[in-house]
Amino acid sequence: MSKDKVIIFDTTLRDGEQSPGASLTADGKLEIAHQLARLKADIIEAGFPVSSKGDFDAVKAVAKNIKGPVICGLARCVKNDIDVAYGAVRYAKKPRIHVFLATSKIHMKYKLKKAEDEIVRLAVWGVKYARKYVDDIEFSPEDASRTEREFLYRVVEAAIDAGAKTVNIPDTVGYAIPSEFGSLIRGIRENVPNIDKCVLSVHCHNDLGLGVSNSIAAMQNGARQIECTINGLGERAGNASLEEIVMAVKTRKDIFDLDTRIKTQELYKASQLVSRLTGIIVQPNKAIVGANAFSHEAGIHQDGILKRRATYEILKPSDVGVDKSRLVLGKHSGRHAFKDRLKKLGFRLNEKEINQAFGEFKILADKKKEVFDEDLAAIVEDHVRTITERYHLECLQISSGTNVIPSATIELRFKNKKLKRVSTGDGPVDACYKAIDKVTGIKGKLVSYAIRAITGGRDAQGEVSVRVRAKGREITGRGSSTDIIEASAKAYLNAINRLIYKIGI
């Protein structure tokens, strides 16, 4: 017996774009739409065409270029809205027009200034007029969760009779709680006689943080289309999050006899793309796609993950397109994760050396939030297996400025000899590194370079961390000074000394 299918209606390009500061260009909308097609969203609500020429053009571009999903345009129950919506979506192979009209007392009284009979008449007219253009019509009674139930039943029945193939029940202001919203969906199914002639949909906002919970309650009571957005974007506190709903259905198969056609391995890519194009950063602790969703710092958790992933992860990172879980080394981390990371970095330490390194790690972890691989390498090589400094920086002179080719004079001590070289470069740091290469005879390629202040004030001491590739290996180095160029030279030289120590040259 096949599972019931839940239709995923993505409204990132319409409701999601209404997040303050999240305006998208036509090209940005099209790029996201392509990713939603790869994600296998069933329906893409591409925008509200009448709202602006830019939105009309964007919806039109999506309709022309995106194959697979239904392409939907939003419209009020107003002739011009519907005409313009059709003008944008008519290029799609599978076009839909989504008409809406408010039905709650507060909206009817203060926004529309219309009585119930007039609302029903307008809803029927809107659906019938839209059907002159396309067969696939969706109707939404706006603010349905605050609409009197008997009136809501009446409007829904009339919209279906008029030809709506999907009826969407919006919790427009995120007012409902799950038990209440589930009861509302069940009530519609039990009291609207023609409900079996349409797909029952929901659109839940997140004002009380219940958008996903209300959507799940609706599914459990018969809703078979869920309107949602990537990263939960939307008006005010946002919408129900697509990735959370989809992964809840997939993960809790023991609860839901349901399925979606979403290709979940594309979720993380979709999240990152939407974040980049809207400029709205995904919070680190966001479920499914946040930076910390598969990260573990607590020692007990890390120990469990290393022994068996399922002890503290109910999802596989690969299921949503994330490469792997991340064990974050910090002050809460334990010995097991510490030893495991050192092993992966290529260090083979005895128990005495591990104890010494772990003590230094704890001291450092109290000073900084996260301890990186470069820090661990430095701990081992500075405190456990100290290296002999073959080359020592004696003197450094820099010439640099506007319209001046940067040059560096480096003097290094090697076996009681002082060796001096001069070099130019793209900048003072590059010139330093090239001069060091000339002295040591080792040509290194800079892979990464990072600076951080380790003291405060105008005379702050800076620390430079580098990763250098040379002789077929990658090595790290660190250096500190109140002069950032000197710190850069020390860091690079530290990496070269470590390389010499490792390969014995």
Tens digits of residue pLDDT in 195-220:
999 999 999 999 999 999 999 999 99
Which whole-number Å values give the CA distances from 331 to 254, 298, 335, 384, in the listed order?
Answer: 37, 8, 11, 20
- State residue 134's pLDDT score: 98
- pLDDT at position 293 is 61
Say yes or no to pLDDT of 479 above 80.
Answer: yes
Residue 259 backbone dihedrals phi, psi, to 5 degrees: -155, 160
Of the listed ranges 173-177, 199-203, 353-357, 466-470, the least confidently predicted one is 353-357
- CA–CA gap between residue 140 and residue 15 (Å, rounded): 14
**4-278 and 392-503: identical CATH topology:** no
Q: Taking the CA of residue 385 as centre, how many other CA atoms within 13 Å lie in the half-sphere pointing to its CB?
A: 14
pLDDT for the residue numbered 173: 95
How far is C-alpha 307 from the chain's CA centre?
A: 28
pLDDT tens for residues 380-412? 766 565 566 789 999 999 999 888 999 999 999
Q: In Å, how far are 97, 104, 409 from 43, measured between CA atoms? A: 11, 27, 64
Mean pLDDT of 352-360: 78
Question: What is the model's pLDDT at position 214?
Answer: 98
Pairing of strands 392-401, 326-327: unpaired
Whether 41 and 71 have beta carbons less than 8 Å apart is answered as: no
Lowest mean pLDDT among 180-184, 225-229, 316-320: 316-320
Dihedral sign for Cα 161, 167, 169, 173, please. Answer: negative
User: What per-residue confidence (pLDDT) applies to 360?
Assistant: 74
Tens digits of residue pLDDT in 136-151: 999 999 999 999 999 9
Lowest pLDDT segment from 172-176, 205-209, 217-221, 451-455? 451-455
Find the radius of gyration of the CA atoms of the chain. Answer: 31
Calculate mean pLDDT across residues 35-44. 98
3 state SS of 388: coil
Contact status, residue 228 vs residue 11, Cβ threshold 8 Å? yes
Average pLDDT over residues 350-367: 76
Rounded distance, CA 243 to CA 274, Å?
13
pLDDT of residue 367: 67
DSSP string, 243-272: HHHHHHHHH-TTT--EE----GGGHHHHHH
Arithmetic mean of pLDDT, 438-459: 80
pLDDT at residue 296, as a whole number: 44
Predicted pLDDT of residue 280: 87
Please check whether residue 264 is in contact with residue 270, taking contact to mean a CB–CB distance below 8 angstroms: no
pLDDT attached to residue 292 = 62
Query: 3-class DSSP state for residue 456?
Result: coil
How far apart (Å, rounded) are the C-alpha atoms in residues 37 and 247? 18
Break the chain into its structural domains and give their ranges: 4-278, 295-384, 392-503
pLDDT number for residue 305: 40
Mean pLDDT of 343-352: 73
Assigned CATH topology for domain 4-278: TIM Barrel (3.20.20)
Mean pLDDT of 104-127: 87
Residues forming a β-bridge with 168:
201
What the block records as the tokens of 390 is 């073959």
Q: Which one of 85-94, 252-261, 414-423 scores highest in mean pLDDT?
A: 85-94
**DSSP assigned state of 12:** T
Q: Whole-angstrom Cα distance, residue 76 to residue 100?
A: 5
Two tokens at 408?
């560096």
Does the pLDDT at position 124 exceed 80?
yes
DSSP assignment letter at 361:
H
Q: Is the pLDDT of residue 309 over 80?
A: no
Total residues belonging to the chain: 505
Confidence band of 297 (pLDDT split at 50, 70, 90): very low
Q: Is the pLDDT of residue 306 over 80?
A: no
Please indicate whether residue 357 or residue 184 has the higher confidence score (pLDDT).
Answer: 184
- Rounded to 5 degrees, what are φ and ψ at 235? -50, 145
pLDDT tops 90 at residue 377: no
CATH number corresponding to 392-503: 3.30.160.270
Percent composition of the chain: helix, strand, coil (DSSP 3-state, to 5)? 45, 25, 35
Cβ contact 69:37 at 8 Å: yes
Mean pLDDT, to the nearest integer, of 280-302?
67
